[in-house]
């Protein structure tokens, strides 16, 4: 029986890609580098901001880039409308909370930015735990974040459902040995996600409710 639902953040519950694009291109401009398109940046999100910087500026400039990116991104996330909940996300969170499920966030974003997003959107209170890559042994696709959340919330792997939008989320769920729902609202394509054979695939977050309801009905 599902007792704990763990969510990825970007592309799963929220759309923060515009803020990321602004901060990446500001960083590139500051370093005298050419800007990148929104789609190029969106496709590169998911491994954490250091990997994001390495992808665009290389390892030699990564540390310098991070010192530019992070202060700018802190401000960018605070701009009205820069971050939005994806359609259906709030309704699903309200439903799961009302039904008594434990909820958590597992993100490769730094904790600081994750909490800014959750507070800005007014959804921090929904989550029993928020764990990010900077406070885990290893980032996704390694299973550490998911396993740590399950352990600290006292749930067996068989009681966990993980929801994410990227191929690294599907791989992370597989390595952790938990059921994983891939949602096609982020930076990985439907084909890329389905090629990895997740436990389930949904086109939009609102469909998660029917999956949860079906699981509960089957058990009863």
Question: Domain check: are 131 and 183 in the same one?
Answer: yes
Query: Residue 48 belongs to a domain with what CATH number?
Result: 1.10.150
Domain stop point among 61, 78, 95: 78
Question: Domain check: are 39 and 95 in the same one?
Answer: no
Question: Domain check: are 45 and 121 in the same one?
Answer: no
Question: Domain check: are 74 and 99 in the same one?
Answer: no
What's the pLDDT tens digit per position in 86-100?
999 999 999 999 999
Domain stop point among 78, 102, 126: 78
DSSP the chain: ---EEEE--BTTTEE-HHHHHHHHHHHHHHTT-----HHHHHHHTTS-HHHHHHHHH-HHHHHHHHHHHHHHHHHHHHSTTSSEEPTTHHHHHHHHHHTT-EEEEEESS-HHHHHHHHHHTT-GGG-SEEEEGGGSSS-TTSSHHHHHHHHHTT--GGGEEEEESSHHHHHHHHHHT-EEEEETTSSS-HHHHHHT--SEEESSGGGHHHHHHHHHHHH-
Domain extent at residue 52: 17-78
| The overall pTM is greater than 0.85 | yes
Question: Domain check: are 11 and 120 in the same one?
Answer: yes
Question: Domain check: are 28 and 130 in the same one?
Answer: no
Question: Domain check: are 37 and 90 in the same one?
Answer: no
What's the pLDDT tens digit per position in 151-168?
999 999 999 999 999 999
């Amino acid at each position: 029986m599902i007792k704990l639902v763990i969510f990825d953040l970007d592309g799963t519950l929220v759309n923060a890609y515009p803020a990321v694009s602004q901060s990446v291109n500001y960083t590139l401009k500051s370093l005298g580098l050419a800007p990148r398109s929104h789609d190029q940046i969106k496709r590169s999100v998911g491994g954490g901001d250091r990997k994001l910087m390495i992808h665009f500026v290389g390892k030699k400039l990564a540390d310098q880039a991070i010192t530019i990116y992070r202060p700018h991104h802190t401000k960018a996330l605070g701009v009205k409308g820069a971050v939005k909940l994806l359609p259906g996300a709030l309704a699903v969170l309200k439903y799961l909370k009302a039904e008594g499920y434990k909820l958590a966030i597992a993100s490769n974003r730094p904790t600081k930015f994750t909490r800014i997003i959750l507070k800005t959107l007014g959804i921090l209170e929904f989550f029993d735990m928020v764990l990010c890559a900077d406070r885990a042994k290893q980032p996704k696709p390694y299973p550490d974040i998911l396993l740590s959340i399950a352990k600290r919330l006292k749930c067996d792997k068989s009681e966990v459902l993980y929801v994410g939008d990227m191929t690294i989320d599907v791989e992370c769920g597989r390595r952790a040995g938990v059921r994983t729902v891939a949602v096609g609202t982020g930076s990985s394509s439907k084909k890329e996600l389905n090629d990895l054979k997740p436990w389930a695939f949904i086109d939009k977050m609102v469909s998660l409710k029917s999956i949860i309801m079906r699981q509960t009905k089957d058990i009863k």
